[in-house]
Structure 1
């Protein structure tokens, strides 16, 4: 096994441990929240500064996030399936 392969495996292991750490926690830092949401830290900052995502500032400096608030953010604006839309249209015209 080459050094490059070893470094690649170590990087994969490090990423896996990081993801497991985030999965267990209920309160996340900005960096962890960005990873959890799949966003860049700068875009997460933009969301917090425009108050589009809920966050907490216990000491007035660092932002923290509840995982449940992040999940609610991800689940906003649901899109209906085409089957549901078709049945609603059918029911509307049936009246």
Structure 2
């Protein structure tokens, strides 16, 4: 096994371990979300993303709240919109509205 393969396996192990954590550090959050350090800092400074600063220095993120924040303002797929339109049409035809 060469150096590149070993480094790649270690990176995968680190990502797997981080994915099981409930609380993430600033750096782990950047890697988990794909958000750059500067933009994540901007979001925390503006209090636009849920985070904690227990001692006033280090920043931590609860994974559950982070996932909720990432998934806010969801967009429906074309299939979901079409299904809703069909259901609405059927209700109107049956006089349920």
Name the TM tier (shorter chain). 0.7 to 0.9
* CA deviation vs aligned residue, 1:9-66 (integer Å, no higher than 9, x gap): 1221121121012112111100001111112222211111121110000000110010
**Residue 87 of structure 1, CA deviation:** 4.6
Residue 7, structure 1, aligned to residue 3, structure 2: yes
- Any unmatched runs of 5+ in structure 1? none
Residue 72 of structure 1 corresponds to 68
Give yes or no for the alignment of 1:17 onto 2:17.
no
Question: Would you identify which runs of 4 or more consecutive aligned residues in structure 1 move more than 6 Å?
Answer: none
Question: 1:42, 1:11 → 2: CA distance?
Answer: 26
Q: Report the number of matched residues.
A: 90
Structure 1 residue 62 corresponds to structure 2 residue 58 = yes
Structure 2: runs of 5+ lacking an equivalent: none
- Cα 1:87–1:16 change in 2 (3 A) is closer
Higher Rg: 2
How far did 1:88 drift? 4.5
CA separation in 2, counterparts of 1:46 and 1:8?
A: 34
Q: Please provide the CA RMSD for this pair.
A: 1.9
